[in-house]
Structure 1
Amino acid sequence: MALRTGPAHAENDPATPSQRQIYSQSIAEHYDYRFGANQPFLPSLATTDTGEFINSKAFPTAKYCGHCHQEAHAEWRQSAHANSFRTPWYTRNVNLLMAEKGIEYARHCEGCHNPTALVSGAMTKGSTINRKFDEDGVTCSVCHAIQKVDTRGTGSYVLAQPAVLVDEHDQPIYGEVSDKEILTHLDRHSKAVMKDFYRTSEYCSACHKAALPRQLNDYKWQRAIFLYDEWQLSSFAKQSPLPFYTKDSVSTCQTCHMAREPLGAIPDYGAKDGKLASHRWLGANTIMAKFYNYDVQMEKTVAFLKNNVFNVDIFGLEKNGSRMIAPLGTEPVSIAPGDILTASIVIQNKGIAHSHVPEQRDMYESWVEFEVTDSTGRVLTHSGTIEPNGDLDPRAHSFTNRLVNIKGEINDLHQVWNNRVVAYNNTISSGRSQIVRYQFKVPTDARGPITVTAKVNYRRFDQHFMDFAMGKDHYPMPVVDMSSRTRTFSLGENPATPPDPQDNPLWMRWNNYGIAMLDAQQYSESVHAFEQVARLRPDYPDAFTNIAIANFSWQRYDDSRTSLTRALKLSPHNARALYYLALVERNQGNLDAAIADLREVIAQFPRSRDAHRELGFSFYQQRKYNEARAEYETLQTIDPDDLAAHYILSIVYRRLGMADKASHEAAMFADQKDDPTASTYALDFLRKHPEVASESVVWHTHSDLEAAPSHGSNAPAQ
């Protein structure tokens, strides 16, 4: 018989369906439906299984779940999920939005930061709902009551009333049942709280992808973060043939952020074979761990940030304007007092399945620190210092972006609802490399040897935002040295040396430099770098494909075809080479060959959004509208917001007589395409801030550096 005993299942319990309906109707009477009568949760894309509100009392507390899941509960309490709403930096920022526009606009935020507040109807003016659930943020019974997700993000999930058990007919039993009942029917507990898609990256995409819709900013749709898309395109997902490197196996979000760890002294019934999937969701939130004195979370977060995420390569030196000597260590170099040197530092993002830092995380702060000293400890040049007031030197090379408003001013407190344009974006994508150049002069009285150090540093927020959040000046934050590299040069001759174990293999050093040059639009240098890879590894097909990519970007299509032919001779049916060959063929007018190659790519990588997009466009060029429609509709199952899909489908549907669908896609395209006038706001900002304007130029040199104190520039992580 069904387990419906005890006070938890009484008819007046808020978890019962009848009481839910009564509750929902009572909330609706006083609820501000600002964004539509049937849209109670917009601008968040979250919804509930019936469209009704859910009483916050129907959500079992995390403490209740901790009866049996003690270790998971202890880890969760220290996680960003558990603290997603209560941290002062979050609440002060969202209070800005509510003060400026109203509490109903903050539904956009709370769909992911405080789902219980959203679905209970608390996000309306004058709500009398008891908000004690705020302390639990994204609690256990939220994640484990999600019934469905899609990859639009911004809370694109369907949430049902939580149930920790199902009956013998697989129907949910609502409310807090006894521990004994659960332990007696573990299979029914598992059916109630676990679903296969919880183990997928698509599950995480519901919140770890987001947009700023017109309802929020009264402007237009703008992409905010797209970690899921970046993962799906990366080598970690193995769903695209295009990354520069490949992985041996698939890594999902859960692989990295919920790694299975040996169970400690605290028991947990969720452990399997003595291991438990981590509920710390380790990432980069060092300030949360510091603020709440979560020592274990801090220790593990710092270790996570330092765990082989970046490779820093002091790759080359230009001396007095002559050619670059590279790779350093493998080539002799002579340095004399008075020389003007330009160092090329290559930063490789090899350990993250998304960008660093993620898109539109404008108040996060990660940068390159570069320092040169002589043997006396004298600092010859230093970039990336922390100034006495806690601010980062504005001329430092930062992995960030600048969000600018209609006044041509930076949104310095993460007022994303006022965004108009990203003035520049220096984030570094998964599997890619970035080059940073520093010019300095060796003083005539310098004492050798000279030591050159480059680091990738990280702290959670910039000082201005943190001081705002905490209501005090100079609030201290830990700085983590994520990766660093040091080289020492004698004044005089420096002969070539055997490979240093700290460095990547020689071919990979050239490859990373070539990737960085490609992204910096230095195509000649990129081709040269990839040719060195081919010389060192003539049996490596991607070396020739990479040469082809650089030449294609350089509009040298015949040269590109020649290199792709060599790649395919080494690796017949290589999907990466076939993809770029298809682009060359289409550019040269051979659509049938391009289509054949793209079909072969899709056969190997059925979720390659790029291949579906290009195949669809090739069909469109041939006026094969049904075939084009099929490809673009498939593309939208991978990325519902693909701009090209909206545009081409708006035309294809019209030509196929599907007027309603055409109008919908045209409207989506009009809302999501870039605003051509918005660049003026970026130009206004850059004119006002020459100290950072050079960072908007993809190829530049940090050449106006001043000597800085040799001690106390950056505080280590605590």
Structure 2
Amino acid sequence: MLVVLLLSGLYSYISSSHSVFSQWLVLAHGFIGTASLLLLVPFIINHFYRTLGQRRAGLFTSGIFLFVLSIVMGFTGVYIIVAGLTEQTAWLLNIHIASGFSLFGVLIFHVISHYIWLAPKRRASLARSKEQNFRYFPSLEEQAFLRIGTFALGFFTITFSLSLIYLAFEIEPSNQPAVTDYQYNYGPHPFRPSQTDTASGTFIDKNQIAGSQNCANCHKEIAEQWYSSIHKQAASDPTYVKNITLLSENKGIEATRYCEGCHAPVALLTGQLSEGGTHGGIKNTTAFHEGISCLSCHNIESATHLKGVASYRYEPHKPYLFDGYESNFFSALREYLIRINPSQHKTDMAKEILIEPELCATCHVQFMDKEMNNWGWVKMQDEYTAWLESPYSMQSEQVFAHSKKTRCQDCHMPLVKGNDPSANSEGEFRSHRFIGANTMLPSLNGDKEQLAQTQKFLQSNKVRLTINPPNRKDATQSDKQITEDIRAITETPAYFYLNETVKLNVVAANIGVGHNFPAGTLDINEAWIAFTALDATGKVIYQSGFLEDDLSVETNAYFYRSLPIDRFGKLVWKHDLFNRVGETYKNFIPAGGSDIVEYTFDVPSWAKGPITLNAVLKYRKLNQRYAKWALGEDYQDLPITDMARATILVPLRQQPPVRMESASSSFLNNTEIEAN
């Protein structure tokens, strides 16, 4: 058994193959290792008692080394067999390999030394005996080498036979579309107008992209986060269901390939998106439940270009034994094999593209071409270029830049503590909640944790508001003449006069978002500034950005949004992008940039000072008109998040009376009366 363990371990160590034979060999190695350990323990105990009284320092020392190496090899082997290997315990495999090879080296030295240090009479006796052919291994019987060879040959023969049997019954993944008569309405490429490619240039079997529940068996914490994420709900989002259905009804199911490459890659890559198939917005389908599945991202090999619309190259992972088998027993065996031998799994699932912002660019950049809108090429959202131009990419010509490059993953997939197998040496792994700005879905789902984390993310000082104090150039504290060199105040006072028209500036600064604010679907999201001016009694002097009775934002508010139009100049308010040809309005704040909003209002004579000026940056996922249309019967009041706030108090004064020349009126002329 030890010889078989040596040979099988050596083959696995030298060979980088992920063949069927290699995987069977790993399973067999674990089985033989467990059996040999059960036999080795009583042998070591018995051998120790038999040799305890012998005075051979070299043999005793090498024997102790063998004992220690056996314990190390056995412990690490049992741990791997029982618990498997994780990112934090990967070093155990190296110790197991090193201790195993060392054990065999010391064992050979131990056996040869035993013969060399034998008493001369015993050595002569062995030389004359029928065992003389084995005189260098006196502990072995005459047939020992034959038995070892037979056992090793039988072991590898059985392992090889299991591999042949498996290959004979292996479930080959299909590269044919799920729909029999698949239509190529947008040219010979199977996935157009989506920009997706596959390594084979053909379709993908469902087992090569779906089945996220299998991943959850090992990655439980990550799966729990993913279940709450917007990625998981990318196809089942009721607003997406509404829009993808609208697109399918207007332009046919083949046109939905444009959206499904990002929202429901399972439907796109398996070849469902043709007449007779189902798009991701259809309930009780795999694509609907999976959304952006685990394998949808982890099997992406590269970004084909940075223009977006699912511009990634998909390469399925190399399968482990029993991949695609629905039997619980075979599924458990496959997962066990991954746990004890995760090297290929790590290679496939931790590709370099996953840590690069280019991965995000494949879907968070978007354009529309003539084949979709029957008009021409139209640029839409582009978070990647906005990030490139920001100070966070360290590739821009900004006046200031951060000392460390900040990627999309650093903000939207921060490191969190946990016990996931992929956790690093600090016990941290990347969060798969993909926190962004979608407060609508967790609100509809009653997912309080996802909603709370999303609102916390929005309120983490990423955008800041400042109200510029109304410092007056004509401001006075008294009419008494003094020279400028003894004036103590370097900034003129700020106050309002009764009955005057005032102008105020509110500055909104994007100091923490790595791209434009707001981003994503600017046409249906709402970000606006609510500004109010109240006197000391709480009476409203002026307000902008308030909510109407139907909870829509008043039309004169200052918005950060876009207003897309169709070819006839009508507003495309249903997010039916296939009708979009341009925009009449688009307002956002670039990363590291600021926006100045001017407010003008009259200070009434009845106002009591001081005046409280309050500005709040508010955000709501979906405007009311679109939300009521898209959600239909599922509509409910959507949460509004206050992202930033600024408040100042401004004193109120009366205008000084007109100066008179007579001395008797000089006292009045030199007095300003402050309003209460």
Please tell me the TM-score bracket, short chain as reference: 0.5 to 0.7
1:61 CA displacement: 1.4
Offset of residue 105 of structure 1:
0.8
- 1:422 lines up with 2:590 in the alignment: no
Give the one of 133, 136, 145 matched to 2:290: 136
Residue 51 in structure 1 maps to residue 201 in structure 2: yes
Structure 1 residue runs without a partner (length 5+): 494-718
CA contact (8 A) 1:86 1:135 kept: yes
Secondary structure at 1:355's aligned position in 2?
Answer: coil
- The one-character-per-residue Cα deviations of 1:435-457 (angstroms, maximum 9, x if unpaired) are 11111111101011110011110
Residue by residue, what CA displacement relative to the aligned partner does 1:336-373 show, whole Å, maximum 9, x if unpaired?
Answer: 21121111011001111111122652001000110011
Query: TM-score scaled by structure 1?
Result: 0.62
For the pair 1:392 / 2:553, whether they are aligned, the reply is yes
Structure 2 counterpart SS, 1:3: helix
CA contact (8 A) 1:84 1:114 kept: yes
Distance (whole Å) between structure 2 residues aligned to residue 297 and residue 95 of structure 1: 27
Residue in 1 aligned with 2:383? 227
Letter in 1 for 2:643: M
Question: For 1:7 and 1:366, how far apart are their aligned partners in 2?
Answer: 62
Q: Of 457, 468, 471, which aligns to 1:304?
A: 457
1:188 equivalent in alignment to 2:344? yes
CA offsets, 1:495-550, max 9 Å, x none?
xxxxxxxxxxxxxxxxxxxxxxxxxxxxxxxxxxxxxxxxxxxxxxxxxxxxxxxx
Instruction: Note the C-alpha offset of 1:9.
Output: 6.6
1:271 aligns with 2:431: no
Shift of 1:317: 3.0
Deviations 1:461-484 (A, max 9, x none): 000111011114973010000001
The residue number in structure 2 matching 1:708 is: none
Q: 1:30: which partner in 2?
A: 181
The answer to whether the aligner puts 1:292 opposite 2:445 as a matched pair is: yes
1:199, distance to aligned residue in structure 2 (A): 0.2
Q: Aligned in 2, Cα 1:87/1:359: closer, same or farther, shift over 3 Å?
A: closer
Partners of 2:533 and 2:205 in 1: CA distance: 61
Task: Describe the shift of the 1:360–1:84 C-alpha distance in structure 2 as closer, same or farther (beyond 3 A).
Answer: closer
User: How much does 1:152 deviate?
Assistant: 2.0
Any conservation in 2 of the 1:164–1:192 contact (CA below 8 Å)?
A: no
Contact between 1:449 and 1:490, CA under 8 Å: does it hold in 2? yes
Contact 1:316 1:345 survives alignment (8 Å) = no
Q: Kindly indicate whether residue 233 of structure 2 is the aligned counterpart of residue 83 of structure 1.
A: yes
Looking at structure 1, the residues matched to 194 and 551 of structure 2 have their Cα atoms a distance apart, in angstroms, of 35
Q: Deviations over 1:672-703 (max 9, x none)?
A: xxxxxxxxxxxxxxxxxxxxxxxxxxxxxxxx
The Cα offsets for residues 53-87 of structure 1, whole Å up to 9 and x where unpaired, read as: 11223334111101111110000111111000001
Q: 1:147 aligns with which of 290, 296, 301?
A: 301
Q: Given residue 211 of structure 2, which amino acid in structure 1 is its aligned partner?
A: T
Deviates further, 75-84 or 179-188: 179-188
For 2:37, the equivalent position in structure 1 comes to: none
- For 1:156 and 1:63, the matched residues in 2 are separated by 26
Change beyond 3 A, Cα 1:7–1:301: farther
Distance in 2 separating the partners of 1:103 and 1:295: 35
Residue 113 of structure 1 is matched in structure 2 by 263
Q: 1:400 to 1:60 in 2, by over 3 A?
A: closer
For the structure 1 residues 473 and 39, does the alpha-carbon distance in structure 2 shift closer, same or farther, using more than 3 Å as the test?
closer
1:158 aligns with 2:313: yes
Q: Which moved more, 1:60-69 or 1:278-287?
A: 60-69
**Are 2:471 and 2:492, in contact at CA under 8 Å, matched by a contact in 1?**
no
- Quick check: 1:371–1:381 contact (8 Å CA) kept in 2? yes
Report SS of the residue matched to 1:279: coil
The structure-2 alpha-carbon separation of the partners of 1:142 and 1:401, relative to structure 1 and needing over 3 Å to count, comes to same
Structure 1 vs Structure 2: percent identity of aligned residues?
A: 28
TM-score, normalised via structure 2 length: 0.66
Quote the residue 2:94 is aligned against: none
Looking at structure 2, the residues matched to 375 and 392 of structure 1 have their Cα atoms a distance apart, in angstroms, of 26
CA distance in 2, matches of 1:329, 1:288: 51
Q: Which moved more, 1:86-95 or 1:128-137?
A: 128-137
CA shift at 1:329, angstroms?
11
Q: Deviations over 1:605-646 (max 9, x none)?
A: xxxxxxxxxxxxxxxxxxxxxxxxxxxxxxxxxxxxxxxxxx
CA drift at 1:120: 0.6
- What stretches of structure 2 of length at least 5 have no aligned partner? 1-20, 25-161, 326-330, 476-488, 655-676
Q: Is the 8 A contact 2:470 2:495 kept in 1?
A: no
Give the conservation status (yes or no) of the 8 Å contact 2:527–2:620: yes
CA distance in 2, matches of 1:44, 1:399: 29
2:366 is equivalent to residue 210 of structure 1 = yes
- State the 1:7 CA deviation: 13
- Who is 1:249 aligned against? 404
The amino acid of 1:207's aligned partner reads C
Q: Distance in 2 between matches of 1:90 and 1:101?
A: 16
Query: How has the CA–CA distance of structure 1 residues 109 and 343 changed in structure 2, closer, same or farther, with 3 Å as cutoff?
Result: same
Deviations 1:160-198 (A, max 9, x none): 224465x9xxxx977766221111112222012111121
1:492 matched to 2:492: no
Matches within 5 A, 1:520-535: none
Could you tell me whether the CA contact under 8 Å between 1:161 and 1:174 is conserved in 2? no
Q: Residue 95 of structure 1: CA displacement?
A: 1.1
* Secondary structure of the corresponding residue to residue 411 of structure 1: coil
Corresponding residue number in structure 2 for 1:575 = none
Q: Secondary structure at the residue paired with 1:211? A: strand
- Superposed, which structure 2 residues align to 1:691-706 within 5 Å? none
Q: Is the 8 A contact 1:162 1:174 kept in 2?
A: no
- Matching of residue 379 in structure 1 with residue 540 in structure 2: yes
Q: For residues 477-556 of structure 1, what are the structure 2 equivalents within 5 Å?
A: 477-492=638-653
1:2 Cα deviation from its structure 2 partner: 2.5
Counterpart of 2:286 in structure 1: which amino acid?
K
| Cα separation, 2, equivalents of 1:281 and 1:128 | 27
- Alpha-carbon RMSD: 2.7
1:2: which partner in 2?
22
Query: 1:459 matched to which residue of 2?
Result: 620
Contact map agreement 1:390 1:463 (CA 8 A) in 2: yes
TM alignment of 1:489-638, pairs within 5 A: 489-492=650-653
- The 8 Å contact of residues 163 and 193 in structure 1, kept in 2 or not, is answered as no
Find the partner of 2:498 among 316, 319, 337: 337
The separation in 2 between residues aligned to 1:222 and 1:148, in whole angstroms, is 25
Q: Which residue of 2 aligns with 1:364?
A: 525
In 2, Cα distance between the equivalents of 1:12 and 1:385? 68
Provide the C-alpha distance between the structure 2 equivalents of 1:284 and 1:366, rounded to a whole number of angstroms.
11
- Cα 1:270–1:342 change in 2 (3 A) is same
Paired residues, what number? 473
Q: Kindly tell me: are residues 60 and 11 of structure 1, through their superposed partners in 2, closer, same or farther at Cα, counting changes over 3 Å? A: farther
For 1:77, give the aligned amino acid. Y
2:248 aligned with 1:98, yes or no? yes
Asked if the contact 1:45/1:154 (under 8 Å) is kept, the reply is: yes
In 2, Cα distance between equivalents of 1:329 and 1:281:
48
Contact 1:364–1:462 under 8 Å retained in 2: yes
Q: Distance in 2 between matches of 1:292 and 1:128?
A: 24
8 A Cα contact 1:214 1:221, kept in partner = yes
Query: In structure 2, how many angstroms separate the alpha carbons of the residues matched to 1:452 and 1:88?
Result: 39
Give the SS at the match of 1:249.
coil
Q: Which has the larger radius of gyration?
A: 2
2:434 to 260, 277, 281: 281
Alignment-derived partner of residue 441 in structure 1 = 602
